[in-house]
Amino acid sequence: MPTVMALVAATAVALTGCTGRTAEADAQPSASGGRETADREEGPIRTALRGLVTDGEAPGAAVLVRDGGATRFATAGVADTRTGRRIQRDDHFRAGSVTKTVIAAVTLRLTGEGRLDLADTVEEHLPGLVRGHGNNGRKITLRQLLSHTSGLFDYTADPVLARQLSATEGTDGTDATGTDGGTHSPASLIRAAVAHPPSFAPGAKWQYSNTNYVLLGMIVEQVTGRSYAAEAERRVLAPLALRNTSFPGSRTTLPAPHGHAYDARGGDWRDVTDLDPSAAGAAGEMISTLDDLSRFLDALLRGEVVPKAQLRRMEDTSASGGRYGMGLFPMPLRCGTTVWGHNGEINGSYALAVSTRDGRHTLVYRLNSAGQPDPDAETALLTAEFCPQR
């Protein structure tokens, strides 16, 4: 499977006391008040979840599967290392770069309405912003932003910004050096990116860069007069009744209910639940739930979010050599099945939402720690669901 580097917006907070115990992945109460049933075919899924936890990837893991009319939910480990609370199906968490799929859908909706064109350049919409150090917004198109073929430097790799984002916060809201990390505007993130030369000429290669989607968020705002968050709500979230998905801006807390998010740097699980996600922006600030991400991906791949012509563009990986389309990427499995979706990583949280191409069979799982899981462990989870042994 391809490795797609997702956004890490690291804002550390207080240390936790210890690593939580590993719990069995059992059936959990459903949203309707009934109980999820665990049949024999769910055994490999639960085994894969337990592996992600016992291998030290995270204190807890949870997965939601929709296959036709059936829904299954399973967990392993804990949502709170102090109390032993389990992850619940309706828990909110930071979805990281799964945000990009929503931003891509909003952008392509605007192209379908004729308000944007994939051949538009960054300079046309944001004059003067992408210039200097060999960067030239006149030569970068929306198509290249969406497909990560712009060549723009990923602002999260800027050394100064990276130090700000990884600084340990003190109890007074300042970092360990006494400086205020503060809220990051999209323009400031782009300035950090264009202080570096591009990795290659626009369209010449493929390289994942969060800078691309921050620019797309700014372009959506420029052309509509509303923030990308407002446009996402109006065009995607509200029509699909995704009431548990939100764009927090600089709000540091998660909506209730939620568990905790952890970082393992230093050897112990450190609680990083509260953070200012403004440095993620349109590239990765979204908060959601397993149910909402599953329903969103189902609707998207069924053609209910963007017109079919725009959906085909989202699934077109020709510009990236098969690695990435526009807000979606394919994950081919050993059994011949290919699932489509996106992953997301932000401090204290990792998520993956994938589906068969027709949207009828989705799997969304999450870990309550940052850092991409072992590829073999993730493959085992997907293989258990999409490549059943006959």
> What are the catalytic residues?
97
* Gyration radius from the chain CA atoms: 20
Spell out the SS3 assignment of the chain.
Answer: CCCCCCCCCCCECCECCCCCCCCCCCCCECCCCCECCCCHHHHHHHHHHHHHHHCCCCCEEEEEEEECCEEEEEEEECCCCCCCCCCCCCCEEECHHHHHHHHHHHHHHHHHCCCCCCCCEHHHHCCCCCEECCEEHHHCEHHHHHHCCCCCCCHHHCHHHHHHHHCEECCCCCECCCCCCCCCCHHHHHHHHHCCCCCCCCCCCCCCCHHHHHHHHHHHHHHHCCCHHHHHHHHHHCCCCCCCCECCCCCCCCCCCECCCEECCCCCCEECCCCCHHHCHHHCCCEECHHHHHHHHHHHHCCCCCCHHHHHHHCCCHHHCCCCCCCCEEEECCCCCEEEEEEEEECCEEEEEEECCCCCEEEEEEECECCCCCHHHHHHHHHHHHCCCC
Question: Residue 92 is encoded by which pair of tokens?
Answer: 């909110």
The CA distance from 288 to 291, in Å, is 8
